[in-house]
Structure 1
Amino acid sequence: MRRFFFKYFFAGSLLSILYCFMALPVFSQNQILGKQVKATVDSSSIKIGEQFHLTLQASAAPSQQLVWPQIPDSFDHFLVVDKSKMDTLRQTGNNVYKQQITLTNFDSGYWKIPAFSFGMVSGDSAVTSPSLTTDSLFINVNTVPVDTTRPFKPIKQIMGVPFNILAYWPYILGGIIVLAILIWLIFFRKRETVQKAEQIIPQEPPYDQAIKNLHALEDEKLWQNNEVKLYYTKLTDIIRFYIQRQFGINAMEQTSDELLQKIKPITKLNQQKNNLQYILQTADLAKFAKLQPVREDHEASMRKAYEILEWTKPKEEVEQMNKAQASLASSEGITNNES
């Protein structure tokens, strides 16, 4: 009896040691992986069509990459309503990953949520370690109890919602603001148009305006008061502005040499090239070379400016002046005859 006991005790001990050695690789692997995967639900019993949450959680060492299970939009009578973003925490040296999935079911009965498999990739290795699986879960989907002893109730009419102006105040306020902006824009544009219309003053003909400006420049007596540079600046601006309006040349933006080149195609203006060149060169010397032209230069520049205007003025104005002179001469002749 004693030999029999020791025999079976030795055999049992040997089997236990052998089992431990066989389980050692699995145990060691789980320690290396830091394995811990689980699936939980917030309710194991729901009504048909009711939503509940499935939470998947897994932990892994920082040196390992976790392969998350692919969850389809529907599986085993369950429909996926929503998936949260992956949440990562740090616990006891491991990374803990967590995701919440919202599910629902429209088939009454006792249904199983299958186990989910996770994979691990260690370091730079492209080989996935054996899968780590969660436990299966069961959900009881109940129907809504119906009392069949009672008769069917009639379909109710559509219920009207009482009007409450406070519920529409954001829209009313927005409409008032938009209406105020439209009124302001219309009024502002109309006022701006009126102001522009008021500002539009018919300009004098180029010749008349230039003659008037030359007379005004003479009355200022600038060069007589040692304002030579200002005198030539205004004189050249009057001639340039006249050429720009009368002949369409951008004379105000041209240099002296460029302007003399631009007038060549215009025969009437080009015939006054020497006079224009004299004025521009004298002005450049006075403004940039800081030379002081003498009195004869000032008077010659003004005289040549008048000559340019008289030579290039439009035919209509020449005809009007001839008619005015003729009428004046005839009136003087009549006066002499009467006397």
Structure 2
Amino acid sequence: MNYDYRIFRIRTSIIGLSPAAFFARALFLFSFLSFSQVTSSIDSTVVKIGEQITYEIQVEVDTSSLVVFSEGQTFSPLEMIESYNADTIRSNNNYKLIKKYGLTQFDSGAYTIPRQKIRIGDKTFFTDSIKVVVHNVAVDTTKQGLYDIKPIIDVRKTAGDWWKYVLLIIFLIGVIAFLLYWFIWRQKPLTEDEKIAMLPPYDRAKLALKKLDESHYLEQSELKAYYSELTLIIRKYLDEKVYDHSLESTTDELIERLRLLKEGHQIDLSPNTIENIERILKRADLVKFAKSAPNTALAELDRNTIDAEIDHVKEVLPEPTEEEKLLDEKYREALEKRKKRRKIIITSAIGIVILMLTFTGFSLKYGFTYVKDTIIGHDSKELLEGDWVTSQYGFPPVTLSTPKVLRRFELPIPEDYKGSVNTTSFIYGTLMDEFSVAVNTTLYGQAPEGGIDIEKSIEGSLKGLEAQGAKDIVTLSDKFVTPNGAEGIKTYGTFRFDGLKTGNHVEANYIFLHFTSENVLQQIMLTYPVNDVYADAIIDRILNSVELKPITE
């Protein structure tokens, strides 16, 4: 039990009081603490069903008392619907606490609100019990006007929240597409190194010499670094235009190769050019490996010599033939195709990874089978998650909820029964379909002697199943009770069926429900595939929706 606490104390200074004054003050305080009063009331003793009653408790105490009101459902048979905060009113040297409760009752009759317990300090007080009368709400049906039945109004189906999910998917696809474009497909501006790499070998060599001039190697006497850069420039140029192993060859090997190319008339290099290149390369080797230290003027002269020899080499190089130009063009096209193919592969790989992660995430949340059936499609799943129809079929009516509305069919009546029975049938699907449901109502003009033989009706339903091609029928029976209390017989089991006449029989489930009254036979027949969780859910939902009404309603 919870309590609502209200604590009040009197703070009094007794310093400096005389014995008589102290005794008088103590006597006054004692009489004050011993005072308390509890009353209760309600705002009305006669109410209507569901109307709220305000129950009020007033407690008048001194300022030092501890008051505890009871909480919870202590007003039975009335029901407490709200407990209000206590109000405090100061009256002279006392406090008046007012606690209110909202009570109600939904059945007519005379009730007594029981006494409520109030604790004040270490003492317990009880309120008086109060009687309350709850009346029905009077309705005068003779004064209520009658109106015609309103016509059927087409209700526009609400759009639902599907558009939110569509917008979210579009947004995510847009974000992914933007990221792929920005990081993979976008033509990024070339870096300085990339721009230099696209220049012809001659222009790259000239630009490298210019950057060497802008360096501070000579000012800082870093001759080893200076000659390393200088020889690398000439070697790269020769590697691309004259001899493709110039970079890894030693000085002697490179000079020997240049002389052989000249003697073979493959390139018309002058002896002076070869000697200048040889002299500078060997001086560079001495600087790098023998720690030789030529002066700055000589280093600058070697730089100018290399510059001039690059021009000489360019002059003696033969002009590229049309075939070479075509090969270069094809090479550039192949390079572009490789780049494009690489982008496609990266984009496809990222897309596959995203799809796999999405599929895995949904599979972990909803299950692999559910996600697979959602993507690929599943007949039973689509029926289960579609818009169901709840309707009444036949007379007396059979109320049923199904994935699809049942259509009325006129079934032939044997000659012996024409005129004595009236049959209505509503069907969706056949044995050829994944799922089927049928509702038959047979109304006899005169009740058969001894009543309707339900066992014979069940046997007739099974023979009808056989007539449609069902074989190896397994039959089980049980009692069935609808949610509104109608009792019948449930016949269920499995059968094998070869609808396409291929010799391959498919196993399926069936359920027959039979209900009988004095002159009415009502049948519900269901067929559905085996090992199908969606079909099982469909059947459970249908069975839980079955309601029968007697013919008198």
Instruction: From the two aligned structures, give the one with the greater helix fraction.
Output: 1
Greater RCO structure (CA 8 Å; 6+ sep): 1
Instruction: From the two aligned structures, give the one with the greater strand fraction.
Output: 2
With normalisation by structure 1, the TM-score equals 0.45
